[in-house]
Structure 1
Amino acid sequence: MIPHLSIVVPFHNVESYLTECLKSLAVQTLEDFEVVMVDDGSSDGSRRIAEDFVAKDRRFVLIEQRNLGPGPARNAGIERATGAYLAFADADDVVPPHAYERLVAKLAETGSDLACGAVGRLVDGVLEESILHEKVFRRPQLCTHITDKPVLIRDRTIWNKVYRRDFWERAGLRFSAGIYEDVPVAMRAHVLATRVDMLGDVVYHWRRRESSITQCRNELPNLHERLAAIRSVRAFLDERAPELLDGFDALVLEKDILFLFQALEVSEEPGPLLELARSWVASLGQNALNTAPSLRRLELHLLGRGLVAELRKIREFRRAREDAARIVPRGWRNTGWYGDYPFFRDRRLKIPDAVFDARDELKLHARVESCEWTGTEYQVRGHVSIHRVDRRIGQIDLWLSDGRRKVPLEVRRAGRHGIVTTIDPERLAGGGPSWRLQARTETRGLVLKGWFRDVEAHASWRFTASGVPGWSRSGMDMPQ
């Protein structure tokens, strides 16, 4: 009988982890599947473990090849697979019990080409959020596409997904040899798919282990292969989805380039790394380079000039400022806002002020901390500050808006960042049904606007009509 789902698991010398991976597949709540294990020339006890699973569970099959790498091993597994749906798992990772049932169910419901879900990071047995996938699956959506949901540019892994087999073949997807063979395939799949389902559930546990191939990411050959994968993706996007290039480049500058920096921090002969780094940066679009955060622009500036000692100092500075380095105003007549980093206006280095310019990084933080009914009006207490700016805001204006009308509110300051205001429901008569609270601030020529957030619900704070004159905040009934 043809299985519903085929799961391809390549492995090479992962004896310590393979049993846990295969057990997690054996207990999937979706029972109609096959696991195609591909022994990529293992020399430890991995093959024996795989054979034990074949002997006791007919859903497990084993094929072998000489050591060619994970890409060719996955290709061999796909050729052997017979399921209508296709999935991949790495042999040192773990798949949660309901993962494939939920992914396949969504595809059956929507008819989309692939379904993807959130990822947890297994670190010393503890499950954490995957930094690589952060922000991607916070707002799940069905029947979408990467061009409509650009955050999917951050979803560059192949194993947190289920694909329709006919889509995979129609798109001509195939893995190349090399370490980062999965990134180009994942990006091609997202672009070539007609529709994609995004699930908020964690569907994959990605293990961090120091001995894995990708953990040797600071080594020069590894960095060359990463650059090759980046160039492959950029060439494809340039042809098929150029509107995604800036987002992809920004992600490379946020995540991938860290490995170059880390290598330069410890290298005794940085020459070859600097040459590679310049090629790496040259392959990216100018827009992403110009709009990178100021501290990253400083690192790139030092990198481009080959100032390794200064770059190492900045890397140490960054690690010491885990709560984000400060942004400060400089100048009175024409105030600018700059990152408070080393080497600003250093006479020896003469780094342009524009490298440190951080005005576009400033964001207003406004949150409601309490709302109480006094018998005639609501008294709202809140917090207003500017992210990364350690100073009192000069002027604060507040108002309520229903999208058509604006009702200004009086503001009292309470401490360094606290504010107090009152809201009379009668002033909102005839408007609504929903009102949002907004702030406008001005400090040293810097004007920022932002909506208040609810400190408990982490959502936009608003009044919602629930009768006259009763009101509610974020769904919570207020006294009348």
Structure 2
Amino acid sequence: MIPLLSVIVPVHNVEPYLTECLKSLAAQTMEDFEVIMVDDGSVDGSRRLADDFVARDSRFTLVEQQNLGPGPARNEGIGRARGTYLAFADSDDVVPPHAYEVLIAKLGETGSDLACGAVRRMVDGVLEESILHERVFRRPVLCTHITDKKVLIRDRTVWNKVYRADFWRRHGLRFPAGIYEDVPVAMQAHVLATSVDMVDDVVYHWRRRDEGETSITQRRSQLPNLHERLTAIRSVRAFLEDGAPELLPEFDALVLEKDIVFLFQALEAAREAGHDLVPLLGLADAWLDELSPRALATAPSLRRLELHLTRRGLIDQLRAVRDFRRSRLDGTRVRPRGFRTVNWYGDYPFFRQRRRLGIPDDVYDARDELKLIARVDDCAWTGTEYRVRGEVSFHRVDRKVGKVSVWLSDGRRRVPLEVRRAGRYGVSVGIDPRVLEGGGPAWRLMVKAETRGLVLKGWFRDGDAHGAWRFSLQGWSRSGMDMPQ
């Protein structure tokens, strides 16, 4: 009987974790599947544990091969897969019980080529947010595409997904040898898909190993791993240049946000151990040469400082900046400099020594990173008007806001409001509903704040969520909740 789903599991020296992984697959709420385990030359007890599952569950099969790596192991499993759908699971991870049922149900509903979902990181038995997938799966979106939903550029793993097998084979998708083999394939699938379904359900638990062999991702600051990561980056960039060049800025920005950190860690560790830095600095140049000049120039200012110091081989200074970043959990401050012409610079190490060190001013320039924060804390009907209280401030700027203007806008009309100030950031306004007559069905509460050569505009958001506040003759709403007067 042909199964609905084929799950491919590469296995290599994962004895402490394999049983938990296989049990999670056996416990899936949808039962019509096969699990194809590919033993990639294990030398511990993994083969014995896999054999035990084969003996007691006919849905599990085991294939053996010499140690070729996870990519060839997955390819071997795909060649034997019979299912309508394909999924991948790493043998040290855990798949939540409803994962495949949820993903396949969406594909059956929409006809999309792949469905993907949220991930949690397993750290010492506790589930945490996967930093790799942050901001991706906040809400479900069906029948979308990476060129429309560019946040999917952050979704670079294959195991939080279900693919249509005919889609996979039609495009001849194959995993390369080496490590980080899933990144190029995940990106290719996203671009080649006609449409993609995103669910906000957690469909995968990605483990950080605490015993046995460390995983590939836990050895990511070692020199061979860094070379392999650069190979994967080059592969993805070459594919995007041909197939989806509009995604290159987002991909380069992601490399500078996430991947480059492992290069910094390697440089810090090498300096600490007294190792030769020449090979690492040469690799660092290769990494930075691969990325677009625009991506390097528009990176956040603190990252630009780290990149500048790396490019020049100033590793002691790089370590100081990295220590500064790690110590500032509340974020770094931005301060104004200048009298006639005011600019805003990151208050980072070596700013006052920048000319002696030959660091250009624009490395510290943080004006484009400043954001207006406008939050509503309370809204009440007094019997004659809405009385709104909130706060207005600049993100990362520790100073009193200067002038504040508040108005209502329905997209066509603008109604100015009188602002009362309270303390450094507090504001309050009164809204007479009669001023809304003859206007649109919903009015957005807008704000402009000014201080020291800085002017930013935005709208008030809810104190606990991300939705804008809107007003009408019938009442007000926030984050989708209606609250009539």
Task: Give the TM-score of the pair, scaled to structure 2.
Answer: 0.96
Matches within 5 A, 1:305-384: 305-346=312-353, 347-384=355-392
Aligned to 1:302: 309
Q: Distance in 2 between matches of 1:7 and 1:318?
A: 41
Provide, for residues 345-368 of structure 1, a one-character-per-residue CA deviation record: whole Å limited to 9, x for no partner.
Answer: 414202110010000000001110
Q: Please tell me the residue identity of whatever aligns with 1:333.
A: R
- Tell me the SS of whatever aligns to 1:194: coil
Change (3 A) 1:217 1:142: same
Q: Please tell me the residue identity of whatever aligns with 1:323.
A: D
Q: Distance in 1 between matches of 2:335 and 2:307?
A: 21
The Cα of 1:324 is off from its aligned counterpart by 1.1
Contact residue 179 and residue 214 of structure 1 kept, 8 A: no
The Cα of 1:180 is off from its aligned counterpart by 0.6
Q: Distance in 1 between matches of 2:292 and 2:331?
A: 26
Provide, for residues 317-350 of structure 1, a one-character-per-residue CA deviation record: whole Å limited to 9, x for no partner.
Answer: 1111111110000001000000001111414202
Structure 1 segments, 4+ long, off by >6 Å, are none
Q: Please tell me the residue identity of whatever aligns with 1:409.
A: L
Contact residue 345 and residue 351 of structure 1 kept, 8 A: no
Confirm whether residue 429 of structure 1 aligns to residue 420 of structure 2: no
Contact residue 116 and residue 197 of structure 1 kept, 8 A: yes
- Tell me the SS of whatever aligns to 1:381: strand
Confirm whether residue 451 of structure 1 aligns to residue 451 of structure 2: no
- Tell me the SS of whatever aligns to 1:420: strand
Aligned to 1:257: 260
- In the alignment, which of 279, 287, 291 is matched to residue 280 of structure 1? 287
Contact residue 433 and residue 472 of structure 2 kept, 8 A: no
The Cα of 1:124 is off from its aligned counterpart by 0.8
- In the alignment, which of 239, 256, 259 is matched to residue 236 of structure 1? 239
Q: Distance in 1 between matches of 2:347 and 2:441?
A: 44
Provide, for residues 63-117 of structure 1, a one-character-per-residue CA deviation record: whole Å limited to 9, x for no partner.
Answer: 1111111001001111111001000000010101111001011111111111111
Q: Please tell me the residue identity of whatever aligns with 2:191.
A: V
CA-based RMSD: 1.1
Aligned to 1:391: 399
- Tell me the SS of whatever aligns to 2:166: helix
Q: Please tell me the residue identity of whatever aligns with 2:313.
A: G
The Cα of 1:471 is off from its aligned counterpart by 4.8
- Tell me the SS of whatever aligns to 1:366: strand
Matches within 5 A, 1:158-173: 158-173=158-173
Q: Please tell me the residue identity of whatever aligns with 1:112.
A: S
Contact residue 432 and residue 465 of structure 1 kept, 8 A: no
Q: Distance in 2 between matches of 1:85 and 1:464?
A: 49
Q: Distance in 2 between matches of 1:475 and 1:242?
A: 40
Aligned to 2:134: 134
Provide, for residues 268-318 of structure 1, a one-character-per-residue CA deviation record: whole Å limited to 9, x for no partner.
Answer: 221111110011000001111110000000011111111111111110111
Q: Distance in 2 between matches of 1:472 and 1:290?
A: 40
- Tell me the SS of whatever aligns to 2:13: coil
The Cα of 1:464 is off from its aligned counterpart by 4.0
The Cα of 1:56 is off from its aligned counterpart by 1.0
- Tell me the SS of whatever aligns to 1:226: helix
Q: Distance in 2 between matches of 1:286 and 1:439?
A: 35
Q: Distance in 2 between matches of 1:130 and 1:9?
A: 21
Q: Distance in 1 between matches of 2:192 and 2:173?
A: 10
- Tell me the SS of whatever aligns to 1:177: coil
- In the alignment, which of 469, 481, 485 is matched to residue 475 of structure 1? 481
Alignment gaps of 5+ in structure 1: none
The Cα of 1:45 is off from its aligned counterpart by 1.1
Contact residue 373 and residue 478 of structure 1 kept, 8 A: no
Provide, for residues 384-411 of structure 1, a one-character-per-residue CA deviation record: whole Å limited to 9, x for no partner.
Answer: 1110000011111001111111111111
Q: Distance in 2 between matches of 1:348 and 1:457?
A: 45
Q: Distance in 2 between matches of 1:175 and 1:464?
A: 55
Change (3 A) 1:117 1:412: same
Q: Identity rate of aligned residues, in percent? A: 73
Confirm whether residue 224 of structure 1 aligns to residue 232 of structure 2: no
- Tell me the SS of whatever aligns to 2:252: helix
Q: Please tell me the residue identity of whatever aligns with 1:302.
A: L
Q: Distance in 2 between matches of 1:472 and 1:257?
A: 42
Q: Please tell me the residue identity of whatever aligns with 2:77.
A: G
Q: Distance in 1 between matches of 2:375 and 2:402?
A: 18
Q: Distance in 1 between matches of 2:484 and 2:112?
A: 43
Aligned to 2:20: 20
Change (3 A) 1:471 1:264: closer
The Cα of 1:139 is off from its aligned counterpart by 3.1
Q: Distance in 2 between matches of 1:186 and 1:465?
A: 49
The Cα of 1:465 is off from its aligned counterpart by 4.5
The Cα of 1:475 is off from its aligned counterpart by 2.7
The Cα of 1:151 is off from its aligned counterpart by 0.7
Aligned to 2:80: 80
Aligned to 1:213: 216
Q: Please tell me the residue identity of whatever aligns with 1:406.
A: R
Aligned to 2:106: 106
Aligned to 1:462: 470
Q: Please tell me the residue identity of whatever aligns with 1:216.
A: R
- Tell me the SS of whatever aligns to 2:299: coil
The Cα of 1:141 is off from its aligned counterpart by 1.0
Q: Distance in 2 between matches of 1:208 and 1:465?
A: 53
